[in-house]
Structure 1
Amino acid sequence: MTQDRAPDYRALADRLAHSLAEDLAQGRLRPGDRLPTSRDFAHRQGIAPSTASRVYAELVRRGVAVGEVGRGTFLRTTPTLPATPAHDSEPAGVVDMEVNFSVLPEQGAMLAAGMAPLVAPEMLQRLLSRPTLRGEAATREAVARLMGRGGWAPQPENLLFAGRGQQALAACFTALIEPGERLGFEAMTYPLAKALALRLGLQPVSLAMDAEGLRPDAVAAAHRAHPLRLLYVQPDMHNPLGITMPATRRRELAALCRELGILVVEDAVYTFLAEDTAEPLAAHAPERVVVVDSLSKRVAPGLTLGFLATPPALRHRLGAALRLGAWAAQGLAMAAATRWLEDGSVAELVRRKRLDAGHRNAMARAILGEAGLTLRCDPRAYHLWLLLPGSWRAETFVAAAARQRIAVSPAAEFAAGPGHAPDAVRLALAAPEEAALRPALETLRDLALAGPEASTIG
C-alpha cells in the first residue's frame, strides 16, 4: 500500500506568492494587510499545520511577508513573481537597510595585490586540493592576533576554521548540545542563530536583558527551572540592540556559567568595530566558552571565512562537527586571508570601517535622534534600534517604508521566544551608498513622526 507524498511547502509558497501578487495588483490586498493564520491556511488547503507553518516561514524568508511574534503574518510589499524560490538581494532602486555588510568603494584595489601570488598554477593546484580545519601555522598565528583584545588572545593551536561564521555557529550547536536540550538566547537575538537551533531540534529559551545586556539572574532562574545546556550571547555591539556589555557584567556572567556548568558560544563578529573593548567571556571562563568570529564583516561578504577559538577539551568535538557538516574552510580563502592579514590590508580595512561606521552612526543619530525619536545603539556600530512612536506597529512601519523603497527589519525577526515583540525596527547602515543613506534616513524620520494615519499604505 502506498501513501500520497506530502505537498512540497516550497511549491505551495510559490503558488501563494503568485496569488498574493495578483491580489495586490488588483487592489484586493494592500501592503500591511494581515494574512490568515497558518492554521486557517492549513484547513483551507487540506494540509498539515506544520506544512502551513513552513509555507509562511518561506514567505517571510523570501521577503513577501513579515511575521510578528504573537500578532501574525503581514504582507510586506508587492512581491515579485518568483522565478526561483529564493532571492539574495533587494530589487534595484531599494535602499537596503536590512543586510549589514560594508564594502568600501576602494577596497577592491587595496586587496588585489595580495591575490597576485595565489594565482600561479602550482599555488592554485595546492590551494584547491581540499578544505582545511586547522590551516597553516602562519594563519593560526595571524588570526590569534586578530581576535586578541584586552589581555586575552586565543592559543593558535586551539583555533579551528569554517567556511563562514554561520557554519562555525552551526558546528557549535551541533557539537555542544543534543536535540531536545535547552539553548539560552538573549531576548532579542541574531535571527539565524535561533533558526539554526530550531532546525537542529533544540529548545530556544528567551532570557531577559537590561541596559548592560544579558541578565545573569535571568540565566540562573531559567537554569533552575530546567537546566540550560548552552548559552549563545553577543557581548559586543549586540545585534540588534547595539548594547556592549561592560566588563563587570562579563565577569559576573562568566562566573555564573562556570558555577552552573553551562557552555557558552560567544559571537564576536562586530567586536572589530571597537578600538578598545573589554576582554571576552572566554578570558574569565576559558574552559567553557567558544568564541566565534569571521572575516565577512571586516573584509567583505564574498570572503566567507569563519573561525572558532575553542577550549582544548572541546576542540576535537567541534572539529568533528565541522567535518560532518562539510563546513571546513576552503584553501584559497584561507590563503587570501593569510596574505591580507600579514600585509596589513585587514588592519587598514578595519581602521577605515571604524571611521565609516562612526560617521554613518552619527548621521543617523543626528537625523533621527535630534528629531525626538528614541534610539538605542553603540555609537561605533553599523546598526541601530529605532523604537517607533505613537500608534505605529512594527510590521505596518516596515510595509510603509517598503512603499518608499526602503527595506528595514522589524523587531519580531529578532525575538528569541514567543510573545509580544516591541514596536521597533533595526536599521542597518552599512550597505547603502552614503548618497542614498541620508535621504532614506530622512524619509524614515518623517514617516515615523507622521504616524500610520498619515502614511499612504494602500
Structure 2
Amino acid sequence: MDDYRRVADTVAADIAAGRLRPGDRLPPQRAFARERGIAPSTASRVYRELALRGLVVGEVGRGTFVRAARPAPAPALGEPVAAPVDLEVGHPVAPGQGALLAPGLARAAGAALVPARVAGTPDVREAAAALLAVPGWTPAPDDVLFAAGGRQAIAGAVAALVPPGGRLAVEELTYPVVRATAARLGVALVPVPADGHGLRPDALADAHRRTPFAAVFLQPTLHNPTGTTMPARRRAEIADVLERTGVHAVEDRVWSFLAEDGPPPLAAFAPARTIAVDGLAKRLAPGLGVGFAVAPPELRGRVAGALRSGAWGPAGFALAAAAAWIADGTAAAVARAKRADAAERQRTAAARLAAGRAGNGTVRADPRSYFCWWELPAPWRAETFVAAAGRRGIAVTPGAAFAAGAGAAPRAVRLMLASPPPDGLERALGVLADIAAGSPDDSPVD
C-alpha cells in the first residue's frame, strides 16, 4: 500500500472511532508531516486522499476540518437525540418499497451469471428509454448506454469528453463526486457563477473565453445542493452557448424523477452536444447498481469506450432486475411513492426550521426535493455548526463540500432529508433549529 494511503487510513480510523470529531481542525500540512515523520508532499497527498473519501473539508484561510464522525460522542448542548441521525447521505426508501421490489429480484436471479455490456440489449434499451422519457424529450433507445451507477455514468461521460490535463466547467456549488472524479481523471475544474435560475449563460461564455474547457457538468433540475430548477428559457440560452463555443455538456438528471412537471432536459435543447446521465439508486433502490448515459450518436462510441476502459459497466443481475421493474410498472410505482415521501419531508422541514424562529438564517429548498440548503445565521460558520450538530448525534454536510472554487467557503450546510424515519427527522430538525438559534460560544470545538 502507498505510504500516503496508510497514513490516511490511520486518520480515517481516528475519525471512525470518535478520536477526531466533527469540526475538529487537522494540523497544517507541514506540522502534520513533522508529527508523522513523513515528507510534506506525502502529507499533502494524505489530506487530498481524506478529502476524496469525504472525511475532511478544507476551507481557504481556515484550515482542514473533519466532516463527520459516527457514532457521535457526548453532546455539547443539552441531551442528544434518541439515536444518531444521518442528514448527509441521500438514500430514499419509500414505505413498502421492499415488497414492491421483491418479485423483480426473483425473476432476475438467472441473470446473475450473465455478463452485461455497456450497450445492454435491445429490450433493456427500450425499457430504459421509456423510463427516462419526459414531456418534450424521448431518448432514442440506441443512444442509451449503461453503467454500474449514476456516478459511473458521470465518470464515463467526463472521461469521454475531457482528456487528462483538460478542463471541465462546473457550477460554483456542485456535486462533490464530480470533484473527486475530476481529480482521479486528472481534470481541472472551472467554477462558473450561478443565480436563482441556475448556471448563468453569460458567465459560462465568459469563463470559456478566459479559460477554454471541453465540457460543462451541470444539474439543471433539482440542483444538489441548492434545489434550483433551471427554467426552459435559461436552458435554451445555455444550449446556444454550447453551440457557439463548441462545448459539450454532461447533464446530471439523477434527482429529476422527483420533478414530474419540470422543463424538458437540456438534452432536448442541445441534443447533439449533451450527454444526459441518470441512475436508479435514488429512483429505485440504493443498492441497485444501474446508471444511464444517453449520448448522441457522434459521442456514443467515445462514451462506451470510456465506460469499458474504466470498468464502469453494469452487472447483468442489476440490469435484468431494472428491466423487469420498469416493464411491470414497479419503477413508476416506487417513484410515485418517493415523490409523496419527499414532499411530506419538505413540509416537516419547513415547519421545524422556520416555525417562529426569527434570525435562523435562510432555508432554500424545492418542495419536491429531498434536501435543503441552509444559509446559516451569523455568527455561525459551517464547520462550527457541523461540530455542534455532530455532538447532538446529527450528521450534516458543510457547504464547503460543494464548493468548486478556492474562494471563501459558504456559510451554509446541506440537510439531506431522505434517510431517517419521519419521527427521527422531525426531532433532529428541531434540535438543529435550536442550535442555530443559539451561539457558537455555547458549542466549543475542543
Judge which range, 141-150 or 293-302, deviates more.
141-150
Shift of 1:198: 1.3
Q: Answer yes or no: is 1:52 the counterpart of 2:43.
A: yes
Kindly indicate whether residue 248 of structure 2 is the aligned counterpart of residue 258 of structure 1: no
Residues 60-83 of structure 1, C-alpha deviation per residue, up to 9 Å, x if partnerless?
566664433442112456678xxx
Structure 1 residue 10: deviation in Å? 2.3
Q: Distance in 1 between matches of 2:307 and 2:143?
A: 14
1:70 touches 1:418 (CA, 8 Å); kept in 2?
A: no
Q: Does residue 38 in structure 1 map to residue 29 in structure 2?
A: yes
Instruction: State the one-letter code of the partner of 1:279.
Output: P
How many angstroms does 1:55 deviate by?
1.8
Deviations, residues 88-122 of structure 1 (Å, cap 9, x unaligned): xxxx9320000111112411111112233333xxx
* Selected match of 2:349 from 364, 374, 382: 364
Confirm or deny that 1:168 pairs with 2:153.
yes
Aligned residue among 418, 424, 429 for 2:412:
424
- Give the Cα separation in 2 of the matches to 1:178 and 1:404: 45
Q: In structure 1, how many angstroms separate the alpha carbons of the residues matched to 2:348 and 2:2?
A: 49
Deviation at 1:397, TM superposition (A): 0.5
Equivalent residue number for residue 248 of structure 1: 233
Instruction: Look up the SS of the partner of 1:248 in the other structure.
Output: helix
- 1:338-364 Cα distance to aligned partner (Å, 9 max, x none): 111011111011111000000101110
| Structure 1 residues 70 and 212, CA gap change in structure 2 (3 angstroms) | farther
User: Is 1:302 aligned with 2:292?
Assistant: no
What is the count of residue pairs matched by the alignment? 434
Separation in 2, partners of 1:34, 1:326: 36
Amino acid of the structure 2 residue aligned with 1:114? G
Query: Are residue 268 (structure 1) and residue 253 (structure 2) matched?
Result: yes
Q: CA deviation at 1:393?
A: 0.9
Alignment of 1:12-27 (within 5 A): 12-16=7-11
Match of 1:352 in 2: 337
Question: How many Å apart are 1:56 and its aligned residue?
Answer: 2.3
Q: Distance in 1 between matches of 2:21 and 2:121?
A: 56
Q: Are positions 1:9 and 2:4 aligned together?
A: yes
What's the offset of the Cα at 1:213?
A: 0.7
CA distance in 2: counterparts of 1:146 and 1:21, whole angstroms: 39
| Residues 17 and 79 in structure 1, CA contact (< 8 A), matched pair in contact too | no
What is the percent sequence identity of the aligned residues? 51
> Residues 316 and 101 of structure 1: is their aligned pair in 2 closer, same or farther, counting only changes over 3 Å?
same
Give the match for residue 209 of structure 1. 194
1:385 counterpart residue number: 373
Unaligned runs of 5+ in 1: 1-5, 81-91
Alignment of 1:46-195 (within 5 A): 46-60=37-51, 65-75=56-66, 93-119=83-109, 124=110, 127-195=112-180
How far apart are 1:59 and its partner, in Å?
4.0
CA distance in 2, matches of 1:210, 1:224: 20
C-alpha separation in 1, matches of 2:143 and 2:165: 29
Task: Give the secondary-structure state (helix, strand or coil) at the position aligned to 2:423.
Answer: helix
Unmatched tracts of structure 2, length 5 or more: 72-81
Structure 1 contact 183–203 (Cα < 8 Å) conserved: yes
Distance in structure 1 (CA, Å) of the matches to 2:14 and 2:285: 37
The CA distance in 2 between the partners of 1:38 and 1:277, in whole Å, is 46
Is the contact made by 1:69 and 1:412 (CA closer than 8 Å) also made in structure 2?
Answer: no
Name the SS for the 1:381 alignment partner: coil
Q: 1:293 aligns with which of 251, 258, 278?
A: 278
Under a length normalisation based on structure 1, what TM-score does the superposition of the two structures give? 0.89
The DSSP-based 3-state class of the residue aligned with 2:26 is: coil
Q: 1:398 aligns with which of 386, 393, 404?
A: 386
CA-to-aligned-CA distance 1:29-65 (integer Å, 9 cap, x gap): 8753422212332355453434212322444566664
Q: CA RMSD in A?
A: 2.3
